[in-house]
Amino acid sequence: MKISPSQLSKPEHRCYYLSGEDRDALNEAANVLLAAGDGGAVRLRLDVSELARFEEESRNQGLFGSTVCYGLVRNAESATPKQTEYLLKLASSVESSNRLIICAPEISWKKALHKKMQALSDVAHCEFNQPNVQAFQQWLYAEIQKSGLIIDENALTMVAEQLCGMRLAARQWIERLHLYDGGKGDVLSQEVMTALLGERAPDDLDVWVHAVAMKDKAAVRLVLRLLRDQKVNEVQLHSWLSTRFQQLLMYRWYQAKGHRNPLQAAKVFGDARSKIPQEARLWQGADLTKAVAALQDAEKLLKGASVEDKAVVVERLTLHLIGENLAEL
């Protein structure tokens, strides 16, 4: 039985199957379904390998009668054939007082579980398609209104374009806006709204990150300028670089899986959306894994009790990632 996301506000079914590409919206809806209903119900968050817990708890006979049980299976898309059969069995036999919520974000339409779940008449199937910018902007504006903030609406489209599909990031952005509002009810300017989309940083910082990802020797000159002339903190430099390489790694992973929109799946937004596809062509998956490991080692030196000069750690990391030695420069 197919239902729309708007029909989830009042839980009426014993079993829900949630699928689609909008992982944030899907997880949000699943949590609302789990929280709704009997205040005394047992609520379980389950891995697909823990399905027996729901069956055991839902059949438990307590001192004052049967236990009401709500279960949320968070990763059904990774179910094995045996787990798929068990899940289908559970979905078809949920007691009227219980609730089973089966989440399968980004599941392939070819998978047997997806086809069989849709065929079950007692299961309410809701699909969360990746939102377009206009739909996300409407959702974002509604969230801002609920928060009581007053904004410059001229900047809203640009914000929606950068955060499209990322509800958690959007809510964190709204929380940061509250710090600037201070409860005064003032109109928040476009400058404040856009500045809070990311950490304030010199323009050279993003140029340096891109140069490192492109294995460009200019990255060495840029990092020296950032450290010595602009006095940018070493931890901030590392944070930006680490974020980019995590995005690159996830982008390549989703790309290898044949995902239709690897940039969106990897949570890439802003200017990085135009740069990461170009950068990724220079990196194999194994090389990116090694790069992330090098970044983690550098983080320990920067944030730990190391006696090494922090600027030297960042300079050496830059050289390592672009594949150059000092003697060659």
| pLDDT per residue as tens digits for the range 222-271 | 999 999 888 888 888 888 898 899 999 999 999 998 888 888 888 787 67
pLDDT at 49: 92
Q: Tell me the residue ranges of DSSP E strands in the chain.
A: 2-3, 15-20, 42-46, 61-62, 65-66, 69-73, 99-105, 123-128, 150-151, 187-188
Kindly indicate whether the domain formed by 133-195 is annotated with CATH number 3.40.50.300.
no
Of the CA atoms within 13 Å of residue 123, those in its CB half-sphere come to 26
- 74-81: average pLDDT: 92
Domain boundaries, given as residue ranges, for the chain: 2-128, 133-195, 203-328
Question: What is the dotted CATH code of the domain comprising 2-128?
Answer: 3.40.50.300
Q: How confident is the model at residue 103 (pLDDT cuts 50, 70, 90)?
A: very high
Phi, psi for 166 (deg, rounded to 5):
-105, 85
- 3 state SS of 141: helix
pLDDT reading at 198 higher than 70: no
Q: Are strands 65-66 and 61-62 parallel, antiparallel or unpaired?
A: antiparallel
Quickly name the fold that domain 203-328 has: Zinc Finger, Delta Prime; domain 3 (1.20.272)
- Tell me the pLDDT of the chain averaged across its residues: 87
- Helices then strands (H, E): number in the chain? 15, 10
- The whole-number average pLDDT for the span 71-100 is 93
Q: Compute the 3-state secondary structure of the chain and give helix, strand, coil in percent, each to the nearest 5.
A: 60, 10, 30
* Dist. CA 213–CA 318, nearest whole Å: 10
> Is a pLDDT exceeding 90 seen at residue 119?
yes
CB-neighbour burial class of residue 132 (10 A; exposed 0-12, middle 13-18, buried 19+): exposed
Average pLDDT in the 273-278 region? 92
